[in-house]
Amino acid sequence: MSLETLPTKVRLIDVGPRDGLQNEKQPVPAAVKIELVHRLQAAGLKEIEVTSYVSPRWVPQMADNHEVMAGVRRQPGVRYSVLTPNLKGFEAALLDRPDEIVVFGAASEAFSQKNINCSIAESIDRFAPVVDAALKAGIAVRGAMSCTVGCPYEGDIAPERVGMLARLMKDIGVQRVDVADTIGVGTPLKVQRAIEATLAHYDIDHISGHFHDTYGQALSNTLAALQLGVWNFQSSVAGLGGCPYAKGATGNVATEDVVYLLHGLGLDTGIDLDALVDAGAFISQHLGRPTGSRVARALLAKRAAADPA
């Protein structure tokens, strides 16, 4: 593999507090979510997806959005983003002054219906005033594109449909987009095809990779995206997560694993891996389960061996 084709800088967006926790059945106290955000920023994360302003009937875990946003001690230079599916969500989010809002659509009609209860075309009609209002308020706008390689209801998704969604997002003023493998079925070439379809509408600086790890392909997919020049990635501390409307899909690729990969490639992330492992251990302990990060497991085992007490 030639290192010359890799980007020289990389930015990680930890989506653990939002994507990671939204699927948890037991309510996670706001104080724990806030502590997680604090630990992530202390570890050097410069972008954190904190919460979402969605219907509490659809996603009860995110009902404490105001409390969480109000409790975060913001650090200068850190971008705090939140999900807003419609104007109601945006108006609620505006009270908490996020740095960026995320509208979330899908390249699959069936997933769009299941996740946000409307067609792709209707979703764009709903997002358009949200995007306008956010930009007028000086808030950045990202668009998540779900099911860019596969859909739990429709199966394989053709790259043309990803291109179509990217064009629609671009037309309404979305500034940058996430190419998401919602159910973690992608493999490197398929993910590259989805990114290439997006590149017809967004330049490489405005595309991020968002890979769930259901089939264990997310790190390979990250490398495949890096080889195309993608340098923004979403990942979730401890590999937390999943979408309630993508049954069976596991969490995002673990941030610790991506950081280990990137550092191994000589790419600077600005992230302190040890502090990140601690953040992952904190939330895993709260959830009462082992971390989903292979790197964190290895490093925690090494620490335990070095200090058996």
Contact residues: Mg ion, CB under 5 A: 19
Residue placing its CB nearer to Mg ion in the complex, 6 or 165: 165
DSSP code for 74:
P
Residue placing its CB nearer to Mg ion in the complex, 19 or 100: 19
Residues annotated as part of the active site:
243
Residue placing its CB nearer to ligand HMG in the complex, 116 or 139: 116
Measured at CB, which residue is nearest to ligand HMG? 89
Residue found under tokens 């659809």:
58
Residue placing its CB nearer to ligand HMG in the complex, 52 or 284: 52
**Is 89:54 a contact under the CB 8 Å cutoff?**
yes
> In the bound complex, what is the minimum distance in angstroms from residue 249's beta carbon to ligand HMG?
8
The Cα 288–Cα 285 span in angstroms is 5
**Is 243:22 a contact under the CB 8 Å cutoff?**
yes
The Cα 66–Cα 180 span in angstroms is 26
Query: Using CB distances below 5 to 8 A depending on partner kind, what does residue 86 bind out of Mg ion, ligand HMG, none?
Result: ligand HMG
The Cα 255–Cα 293 span in angstroms is 8
The Cα 173–Cα 179 span in angstroms is 17
> In the bound complex, what is the minimum distance in angstroms from residue 76's beta carbon to Mg ion?
28
Binding site for ligand HMG (CB under 6 A): 19, 22, 52-55, 58-59, 83, 85-86, 88-89, 104, 115-117, 144, 146, 180, 182, 210, 212, 243, 245
Measured at CB, which residue is nearest to Mg ion? 19
The Cα 276–Cα 282 span in angstroms is 10
